[in-house]
Amino acid sequence: MDAEEFDAFYTASFTRVVGQVYAMIGDRDEAQECVQEAFARAWSHRAQLEKAHAPEAWVRTTAYRLAVSRWRRMVRSRRAPDRALQDGPPTAPPDPDRVALVAALRRLPEEQRRAIVLHHLADLPVAEVAAETGAPVGTVKARLSRGRAALALLLDEHHDELAEGAGHA
Amino acid sequence: MPDLFDPLRGTPDQLVRPALPADEVRRRGDRMRRRRTVAAATGAGLAVALVVSGGLALGRGLTNGAGPSPLPPATQAPSGTPEPSPGPEVGWRTSIPAGFPLADDLEDLVSSSEEELAGPGRDVRVFDVPFEACGRSTDLGAPVDTLAVRHTAPEWFDGRVLQVYGDDAAARGVLEELVGLYDACPKDRFEGPPDTVAVSTVRPVPHGEEGYLVTRTFSVDGPRVPGLELLHVVRTGNALLVSNLSNEGGATDANVALQLGERDPLVEDVATAMCVFAENGCDADGGDGGSLAAAVLGLDQLRDLTRGLSTSWTVVEEQRPTLSCQPVPLSTLEPREAAYTFFDGTGPDGTVNAQAAGAVLELPDVALAEQAFATASGWLRDCGDAGPGARPVAIAHDPVTQRTGWGPATWRVVERPAPEICTECDTGWIDAQGVVLVGNRLALVSLAWTGDLGSGADAAGSPMNDAVETAARLAAGSAPTSEGPAFGPRGLGPVHLGMSAADVESSGAVLEDSHGVGCTTFTAAPEGDPVLGFLTENQGVSVLLVDAEGILTPAGVGIGATEERVREAYPDAEDVPMGLFAPVPGFTDRQYTFAFEDGRLVEMALRLDRQSCVG
């Protein structure tokens, strides 16, 4: 993969992968930082990336693993904030529906949340979700089924709260 | 569901801040690649070795030394800050000397937007957060002097603190609290989601008067995740070194070994410099040499070498030149450590009729040892009347070059008159002396006895043939090199060419992923230093690669050797791009390949013919 190909891949995928990792971990700042780091690693390991069946999955998995690393949180507490990330103008505040969705996802068990995000947000077929998470296809299907049911319940609760709020307003 | 997830489908306003430009991302990736490990530098353009994706991640490995005192018992009482010592006792050094080499390896580092280097300095803050494990915590107490350095980069933290306490008991107390904290907490669970476990292992390391390594890795919901902490805690006298390296490695045991291979020598260098805080200070030149004492010629070996001599040997304390041909003291060769022994032999009439000496010099690296060997060999070749007080040379026999089982040797016999014995006879001193190169050590040996002038002409019958072999064997015995054949002709230690994957794994090696045309890579540490290997289903182990110092071929070639040295050892070597290619003596199906940078050997490979894993 040469520089031009990588740049095109990065430009096309970055925001999308940030959204996916954000959905998985529930922290926008952390998600963006981890995805940024994952792309730098992708370039650093571009030989591996070229051999990977799905480069975006490689980046997403790397970012996710960074995000869940307990060690990472400890190291961050010991050093100054990462100055490699640019501080640009503040972006718009998040959409309330997006916040609610992420909050609901956070209430799911880890495996269900990840499967839901990969299948419904990243649009991966079940087999690819299985490959990315290292779980059998049947297990992934079970996680999706339970995850959907739980998410629907959680989002129904959210909508009910909003309706009550509107009623009380 | 798809409608439900539309708010998360990656619109730019979701970003907390603008994404980095692509070229900046690539630049950061390039820095990671350079920083990753040592041997990536050996890959470019080399026809005889191929850099596996991720680089040839080989480090120097640990030295094999006996551990220090047993681990202090884990403290059961809640930890707390140790009380400051009541005050310095006479004899303990209470200030860190100027120029203490806490971070010589970071000398050339310049802070940038990505990397920060703070220190070394007394006001650098490193371990602001107490060390915590299993709900307990401890800190480094109240030193009387401190020096610290902090190097940070994305996913990289390297902090080192040298603290001096009032006395050794205070330093020991801090060490025991810190090491005991982790020793009492092999698994630290953090309730999820996700459930995270920090696994800590504690073991002694041969640094300082007492030293320990705490290794922490992490797993999330079962599998290991990126995250590694290497915490070295080393005490000498009243000084304590705490060194913490934290980064994104640690996901595999092989990675832990590789990182430790790079880190441990840095810690060892600092720990060596801490000798200034030892109760008796650092050893002076010409002292007993500490760990080298066992590597120098001893009385038993001397008696074995001189059974035909009618003399009775005793150890003497007199300091004198080891070689009568040396014009200057051996300390001019600048060893980092040295050991010497001197002997007098007494004849039946009670007079001294023989003398002997042995010395082992340990140089900082193989290259410097080679230079020292060349210098000492030159002394022997030029041997005339040598230094002040040396007897004149009556007969100088030709120098002899000899290949011992551990390295090359030069020796020579010169004969000097002995007028103190008789002035009307041909009795003189038969003065035999030699030097041998063993890795980064130089062994010197001399034997002198009275006899008829001219009787030293028989080179084949000279005791020096055996003396240099003995000196080499002793020097190699406790050196980082292995005794006898090391790298080749069959392999390294228990890992051989042709071995199957199952046998490789049984030897303790870690198999990694497949690469290229059905090649599996593995990392082994059969002699302490990591080795990278390749194997296929058809050939088994087909290539072994070494880039660590201290591992030698049977001809005594090791990393750091000059090209000239390698050609001397392998006269049938042929030139290939950036290196040499040499058949393994005695074999028709394998060869060595040697890669050089700036005229020095940086990597060597042992490979089967018709292997397909490397170029």
Using one digit for the tens of pLDDT, what is the confidence trace for B51-108?
Answer: 222 221 112 121 222 322 233 333 223 333 333 333 333 467 888 888 888 987 776 6
Antiparallel, parallel or unpaired: β B427-438 and B187-190? unpaired
Lowest mean pLDDT among A135-149, B131-145, B221-235, B342-356: A135-149
Kindly list the residues from chain B whose CB atom is less than 8 angstroms away from the CB atom of residue A69. 218, 220, 225-227, 248
Backbone angles phi, psi at B524, to 5 degrees: -130, 155
Q: What percentage of chain A has pLDDT greater than the value 90?
A: 14
Q: Which residue in A has a C-alpha nearest to residue B111's C-alpha?
A: A83
pLDDT classification of B14: cutoffs 50, 70, 90: low
Q: Of residues A159 and B231, which shows the higher confidence score?
A: B231
Highest mean pLDDT among B102-111, B230-239, B449-458: B230-239
Kindly list the residues from chain A whose CB atom is less than 8 angstroms away from the CB atom of residue B188. none
What is the pLDDT, as a whole number, of residue B89?
A: 38
Amino acid (1-letter code) at residue B80: G
CA distances from A5 to A49, A50, B26, B419 (A): 12, 11, 12, 86
Closest of B403, B549, B547, B552 to residue B476, by C-alpha? B552
Tokens of B257: 């070994």
CA distances from B356 to B362, B431, B443 (A): 20, 9, 14
Q: Which residue in A has a C-alpha nearest to residue B194's C-alpha?
A: A110
Tokens of B528: 């302490």
What is the pLDDT, as a whole number, of residue B47?
A: 20
The pTM is what?
0.38
How many CB pairs below 8 Å do chains A and B form together? 179
CA distance B234 to B253: 23
pLDDT classification of B257: cutoffs 50, 70, 90: confident
Q: Which residue in B has a C-alpha nearest to residue A46's C-alpha?
A: B53
The half-sphere exposure of B441 on its side-chain side, counting CA atoms within 13 A, is 29
Closest of B68, B61, B37, B38 to residue B482, by C-alpha? B61
| Residue numbers of A between 33 and 52 with CB closer than 8 Å to B | 36-37, 39-48
Average pLDDT over residues B181-200: 82
Highest mean pLDDT among A60-64, A107-111, B123-127, B547-551: B123-127
Q: Which residue in B has a C-alpha nearest to residue A14's C-alpha?
A: B19
Helices of type H across B274-398? 299-305, 366-381
Q: Evaluate if residue B482 carries a pLDDT over 60.
A: no
Q: Evaluate if residue B510 carries a pLDDT over 80.
A: no
Average pLDDT over residues B522-550: 77
Q: Evaluate if residue B528 carries a pLDDT over 60.
A: no
What is the pLDDT, as a whole number, of residue B266?
A: 85
What is the pLDDT, as a whole number, of residue A8?
A: 94
Q: Of residues B96 and B336, which shows the higher confidence score?
A: B96
B547 to chain A, closest Cα gap in Å: 22
Q: Evaluate if residue B412 carries a pLDDT over 90.
A: yes
Q: What percentage of chain B has pLDDT greater than the value 90?
A: 18
Antiparallel, parallel or unpaired: β B531-536 and B519-524? antiparallel
Strands across the sheet with B156-164, in order? B116-121, B145-153, B156-164, B239-247, B224-236, B210-220, B196-204, B187-190
Average pLDDT over residues A74-82: 47
Highest mean pLDDT among B4-13, B45-54, B269-278, B473-482: B269-278
pLDDT classification of A106: cutoffs 50, 70, 90: confident
Q: Which among A70, A87, A114 is the top mutation candidate for probing chain B, defined by the most B β-carbons within 10 Å of its own β-carbon?
A: A70
Kindly list the residues from chain B whose CB atom is less than 8 angstroms away from the CB atom of residue A91. 12-17
Inter-chain CB proximity A74 and B246 less than 8 Å: yes
Q: Evaluate if residue B340 carries a pLDDT over 60.
A: yes
Kindly list the residues from chain A whose CB atom is less than 8 angstroms away from the CB atom of residue B54. 45, 48
Average pLDDT over residues B421-432: 81
Q: Of residues B486 and B317, which shows the higher confidence score?
A: B317
CA distance B50 to B45: 9
Average pLDDT over residues B194-205: 84
Kindly list the residues from chain B whose CB atom is less than 8 angstroms away from the CB atom of residue A89. 18
Q: Of residues B566 and B4, which shows the higher confidence score?
A: B566
What is the pLDDT, as a whole number, of residue B434?
A: 95
Going by C-beta distance under 8 Å and a sequence separation of 6 or more, which residues neighbour residue A103? A26, A158
Q: Evaluate if residue A97 carries a pLDDT over 70.
A: yes
Could you tell me if B3 lies within 8 Å of chain A, comparing CB atoms? no
Q: Which among A44, A77, A124 is the top mutation candidate for probing chain B, defined by the most B β-carbons within 10 Å of its own β-carbon?
A: A44
pLDDT classification of B145: cutoffs 50, 70, 90: very high
